[in-house]
Each structure stands twice: as C-alpha cells, then as structure tokens.
Amino acid sequence: MGEAIAFYTLAAFILGFAVLVITTKDTVHSVLFLVLDFLFVAALYVMLNAPFLAAIQVLVYAGGIVVLYLFVVMLVNLKRLPEAFQDPNRHGRIGLILSVAVLLELAAIAALGVGSVAPVRTAARALPVTGNTEQVGWMLYTSYLIPFEIASMLLLVAMIGAIVLAKREL
C-alpha cells in the first residue's frame, strides 16, 4: 500500500512538472522544471529498484542534457522579432516530405516488429550475468545496440544544431 502511494505521488509530481515545462512562458523556468521532472523520474527508478538507471538519469539527463538546453537558451537571442528568423533559402516542402517518409518508416517498423520483441523479463532470466547494472549493460550492448546508437546520433545532431543556432553572423 505504501509503495502504491509513493508511486502515485511521484507520478503526480512528474506529470505536474511536465505540464509546467510546456506551459511556462519563460524558457529558463521551463528548463528548471525539466530538471525537477528528471529528478522525480530518477526517484521513481530508485523506488522500482533500478539504482543504475536512477544514477544515469541524474547524470545524463538532469546534468548533461539540461546544461545543453540552458546553453542553447542563453545563446539564442529570443528577443528578436519573429520575422528575423525567416530564411529565404528554406526548403519547407522537402522537409515535409522527409518528415512524412520518416514517419512512415517508423510506422512500418512498429507494425512489422510488434510480435518479434521478447519481453524484458524473460530475456533477463536468460542473461549470463547477474545484478542490475550488469543486466542493463548486457542488454544495452547486445539486444538494444541499434537504438543506443540512434540515441547517440540524435544527441550529436542536437549538439550540432545548438552550435549552428549559437553561431554568430560574421
């Protein structure tokens, strides 16, 4: 009973801070609410007996990703008029076509791969390692290597985007 109350309390805080992230007008406050949201997700991981995921949540998300967000928010001049952001060389139709193509690919992957993924609990019993951290590492670098690499590529693209946005006109 106590675990259920703790879970629902943490879930309510997580949802509350998520709503504050997207409804707050000040971008710095939005990022700070995001930090609190990430910390409550880490607390949820601790409650679910996953201390490694909680530590990674705090180090990577509440630490590194939020610092990157703050870096972008502080460097991008948000006081300019919206017309100053218009680019005459923008290819909106090509972007829309590519977005639809990626969405169709993701839908095809989801439709074709629904029955092929084994539940994590059955895979975790057959692992040659013991302990939570070893199991996460084993699964991360065997079964989930491709999603792990895709996530690293997304972070690289986000970093390059931050650099491009922060670059001053010479």
Which domains, ranges and CATH numbers included, belong to the chain? 1-78 (1.20.120.1200)
> Residue 123 and residue 119: Cα distance in Å, rounded?
7
Instruction: State pTM to two decimals.
Output: 0.54
Q: Which of 38, 36, 39, 33 is nearest to 21 (CA)?
A: 33
Q: What is the mean pLDDT of each run of 10 residues along the chain (170 residues)?
A: 91 95 88 91 91 87 81 68 63 84 86 60 58 78 85 84 68
